[in-house]
Amino acid sequence: MTVQPVPADSAPADFDSPDDVARAFAEQGYITDRRLATTTFVMSRLAKPLLLEGPAGVGKTELAKTLAAATGRRLLRLQCYEGQDETKALYEWDYGKQLLYTQILREKTAQLLADTDTLEAAVDRVAGADSAFFNERFLAPRPLLEAIRSEDPVVLLVDEVDRADEALEAVLLEMLAEYQVSVPELGTFVAKQAPYVVLTSNNTRDLSAALKRRCLHLFLEYPDADRELEILRSKRTGLGDAAAQRLVDVVRGLRGLDLRKAPSISETIDWARTLAVLGVSELDAAVLADTVSVVAKYERDVERSRQALPRLVDPNATVPSSQDQGHGHAHSHGSHTHGGHSHDHSHDHGDHGDHGDHPADDGRRVRAAKDTPGRHDDSFGARGGPADAPAAPRKVGTGQGTRSFAPGNRGGARRRPV
């Protein structure tokens, strides 16, 4: 049986303009910026796949989900992983079902073979009935074929394509080139309407130039402060606006530190929710230090963050002494125990004369108040140790995050958000 190819439709018009994309996405709780809205609009008009790269938690997967929700399209998702073979991506023959049918139809098969007297003749006869068992009834489509065969237009999310082997990438290329899939026993399926295809990558390996060439490419970075605040608002975290604004600044400051894993948008959201649950209305370094493990997932990151928090919460806290008391930690959060603060204040100054007026002093105090001996592993000590002042914050590094997106790996080529 051959499936007649059906020509793909011209580009569907789900959006009138980039502004229309921004509006439709905002309705779904996804906050775009100009660049993102424009690229999404263009992909919808050109029916070209969109390749999203960027660190973890910046909204790559969410963009595809939102695109589906905003256009009313069904979302089909191919989650890529190492060693995945194409049958899990394209289609499989439903062997179990084929077997069941042959069992049930045993009598019929016997009739079919009744007048054959040699094995060869019987095999020839069975072969002639192949098509009965290799037809669409026994086809188990996987996401790629399903996207092509779908009667309704769909969004196809090929998530974490960098984890897939190159062989699967080749299969993808073929599919993306023409929006068609060939099944040798059946023929070629061609999409009635080109799906919106969104591919995401965390850059664990370089994707082929051929794949990149076929896609519109967008590097998603951490949002600017306004957009991140807007995202927080849209998530209704329960944290007051002023505190949320402050939190966004703190998180951006943390991203500027040399952390192994920079906090992502989802972690900002989690932190806001955590603070809201604790009933926090005003941020201070102590409550942030108590909850920083929501955003810092490695011991070393937790320590570095804690050291930096006082100065991130209050950038003016460069003057020790009386002003320091002003943003002391214990008073507004009775439920948290910050024993030892005032005591630490009195003797921590002067230990490191070269940093005497540096905001890092605050970090040392906070850390000292919470630290217990022997917490740090060697690697942390080797990189400066907890008693050292934290590195001066770099201008908020929007492009850093996972190993693969660490500044060192990307040279100076990181783009800034528009």
The entry of Mg ion, ligand ATP, none that residue 56 binds, CB within 5 to 8 Å by partner kind: ligand ATP
Residues 295 and 260: beta-carbon distance below 8 Å: no
Query: What gap in Å lies between CA 306 and CA 292, rounded to an integer?
Result: 7
What is the closest distance, in whole angstroms, from the C-beta atom of residue 229 to Mg ion in the complex? 22
Helices (H), 256-386: 265-277, 285-291, 299-313, 322-326, 341-348, 360-370, 378-382
- Asked if 255 is part of the footprint of ligand ATP (rule: CB under 6 A), the reply reads no
Instruction: Decide whether 61 or 332 has the Cβ nearer to Mg ion.
Output: 61
- Asked if 266 is part of the footprint of ligand ATP (rule: CB under 6 A), the reply reads yes
- Asked if 56 is part of the footprint of ligand ATP (rule: CB under 6 A), the reply reads yes
Which residue, among 354, 416, 343, 340, has the nearest Cα to 389 in the 3D structure? Answer: 354
What is the closest distance, in whole angstroms, from the C-beta atom of residue 368 to ligand ATP in the complex? 34
Instruction: Decide whether 78 or 366 has the Cβ nearer to ligand ATP.
Output: 78
Per CB under 5 A, contacts with Mg ion among 11-70 are 61
Out of 62, 221, 314, 344, point to the residue binding ligand ATP (CB under 6 A). 62
- Asked if 60 is part of the footprint of ligand ATP (rule: CB under 6 A), the reply reads yes
Residues 310 and 285: beta-carbon distance below 8 Å: yes
Which residue, among 286, 294, 300, 281, has the nearest Cα to 383 in the 3D structure? Answer: 300
Residue 266 main-chain phi, psi, to 5 deg: -65, -30
- Asked if 61 is part of the footprint of ligand ATP (rule: CB under 6 A), the reply reads yes
Environment class of 391 (CB within 10 Å of its CB; exposed 0-12, middle 13-18, buried 19+)? middle
The entry of Mg ion, ligand ATP, none that residue 179 binds, CB within 5 to 8 Å by partner kind: none
What is the closest distance, in whole angstroms, from the C-beta atom of residue 72 to Mg ion in the complex? 22
Q: Which runs of E-coded beta strand occur in 72-229?
A: 74-79, 91-93, 139-141, 154-159, 180-183, 187-190, 196-201, 216-219
Give the H or E element holding residue 45: helix 34-46
- Placement of tokens 């990149």 in the chain: 212
What is the closest distance, in whole angstroms, from the C-beta atom of residue 266 to ligand ATP in the complex? 4
What is the closest distance, in whole angstroms, from the C-beta atom of residue 17 to ligand ATP in the complex? 19
What is the closest distance, in whole angstroms, from the C-beta atom of residue 233 to ligand ATP in the complex? 10
With contacts defined by CB under 6 A, how many residues of the chain interact with ligand ATP? 17
DSSP codes joined into one string, 231-259: HHHHTT-S--HHHHHHHHHHHHHHHTS--
* From 27-35, 206-214, 253-261, 368-376, span contacting ligand ATP (CB under 6 A): 27-35
What is the arrangement of strands in the sheet containing 74-79, beginning at the earlier edge strand? 74-79, 154-159, 196-201, 50-53, 216-219
Site pattern 194..213 for ligand ATP (x: CB under 6 A): ------x-x-----------
- Asked if 291 is part of the footprint of ligand ATP (rule: CB under 6 A), the reply reads no
Out of 50, 251, 265, 288, point to the residue binding ligand ATP (CB under 6 A). 265
- Asked if 30 is part of the footprint of ligand ATP (rule: CB under 6 A), the reply reads yes
What is the closest distance, in whole angstroms, from the C-beta atom of residue 121 to Mg ion in the complex? 56
Which residue, among 196, 163, 173, has the nearest Cα to 80 in the 3D structure? Answer: 163
Q: What angle do CA 311, 395, 250 make, to 5 degrees?
A: 40
- Asked if 266 is part of the footprint of Mg ion (rule: CB under 5 A), the reply reads no
Give the H or E element holding residue 18: helix 18-27
The entry of Mg ion, ligand ATP, none that residue 256 binds, CB within 5 to 8 Å by partner kind: none
Out of 231, 248, 285, 302, point to the residue binding ligand ATP (CB under 6 A). 231
Binding site for ligand ATP (CB under 6 A): 29-31, 56-62, 200, 202, 231, 234, 265-266, 269
Could you list the residues that contact Mg ion (CB under 5 A)? Answer: 61
